[in-house]
């Protein structure tokens, strides 16, 4: 990491920061001097990860906020709690994601993957936009996936009621996140806030924990480490080279073309309107 990537005085919020890419990204950015605000669902796991991050980075400026991102009430409380403690947010990394094997619904009656992988970043980012804009130059980074290339959005079955498959629905939720990234970048033009998406690579994380032993074993042998997966998010959060670059998709620290479907502006606008409705924005 180049020396000029020093992040002293920068406040960074990372969702799903207690394991996998989120935790590895937190360690990397804490080493650069950033104040890290971890968002975790489980207090015990969060506390344990915060301790690890402090030890690994020699940085004590690690804060923990507890929120279940499947609950819109929790997300609203999270934004409120953050604003009561901090006056700035220089980097927001929407990292938390899930792949449940069976279709589940949230307390708000929404399909779980759509809620956590897309609507949570949509709602949280919008609730924090005022403080992010006030902190400009600031950066929003959405952790997407190369699996979005396989997806098509069916607006008649957004909740996967007619058809559900763990990864089938996951792919679609990540395409929705790509729509959000590009539409938000368009809306924030000229504000000094950039929005980019990243494919971290195929990583050994807890994401596929609901799947069978063969799948989990395959993951352990062939997939990259979370540390490797965190390299591009760390680069996007800290590198001066990225200043002012917005509305792009990155993999291996390089700009990349996302799927054809992801550039459909009409679909992105439609997705935004539906998301605003579903989150009561």
Task: Tell me the catalytic residues.
Answer: 170
In angstroms, rounded to a whole number, what is the distance separating the alpha carbons of residues 142 and 145? 10
CB within 8 A of 217, min separation 6: which ones?
none
Q: If DSSP states are collapsed to H, E and C, what string results for 47-111?
A: HHHHHHHHHHHCCCCEEEEECCCCCHHHHHHHHHHHHHHCCCCCEEEECCCCCCCCCCECCCCCE
The token pair at 216 is 């989990």
At residue 34, φ and ψ (nearest 5 deg) are -70, 150
Is there a contact between 229 and 177 (Cβ–Cβ < 8 Å)? no
Contact criterion met (CB below 8 Å) for 166 and 99: yes
| Sign of the C-alpha dihedral computed for residues 140, 278, 281 and 271 taken in this order | positive
Cis peptide bond prior to 109, omega within 30° of 0: no
What is the distance in angstroms between the CA of the first residue and the CA of the last residue of the chain?
Answer: 38
Q: Which of 145, 132, 274 is nearest to 197 (CA)?
A: 145
- At residue 63, the 3 state secondary structure works out as strand
- 145, 121, 143, 148: which is closest to 132 by C-alpha? 121
What letter does residue 225 receive in the DSSP assignment?
A: P
């Amino acid at each position: 990491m180049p020396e000029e990537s020093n992040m002293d005085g920068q406040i960074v919020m990372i969702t799903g920061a207690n394991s996998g890419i989120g935790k590895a990204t937190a360690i990397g950015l804490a080493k650069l001097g950033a104040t890290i605000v971890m968002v975790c669902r489980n207090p015990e796991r969060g506390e344990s990860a915060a301790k690890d991050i402090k030890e690994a980075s020699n940085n004590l400026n690690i804060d923990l906020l507890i929120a279940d991102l499947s609950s819109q009430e929790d997300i609203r409380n999270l934004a409120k709690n953050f604003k009561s403690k901090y006056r700035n947010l220089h980097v927001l990394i929407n990292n938390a994601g899930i792949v449940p094997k069976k279709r589940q619904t949230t307390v708000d009656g929404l399909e779980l993957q759509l809620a956590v992988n897309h609507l949570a970043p949509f709602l949280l980012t919008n609730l924090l936009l005022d403080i992010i804009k006030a902190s400009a130059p600031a950066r929003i980074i959405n952790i997407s996936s190369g699996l979005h290339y396989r997806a098509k959005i069916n607006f008649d079955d957004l909740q996967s009621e007619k058809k559900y498959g763990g990864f089938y629905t996951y792919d679609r939720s990540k395409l929705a996140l790509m729509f959000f990234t590009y539409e938000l970048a368009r809306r924030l033009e000229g504000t000094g806030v950039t929005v980019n998406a990243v494919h971290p690579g195929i990583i050994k994380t807890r994401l596929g924990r609901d799947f069978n032993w063969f799948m989990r074993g395959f993951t352990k042998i062939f997939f990259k480490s979370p540390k490797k997966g965190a390299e591009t998010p760390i680069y996007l959060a800290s590198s001066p080279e990225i200043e002012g670059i917005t509305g792009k998709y990155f993999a291996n620290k390089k700009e990349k073309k996302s799927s054809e479907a992801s550039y459909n502006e009409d679909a992105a606008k439609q997705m935004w309107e539906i998301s605003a409705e579903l989150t009561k924005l």
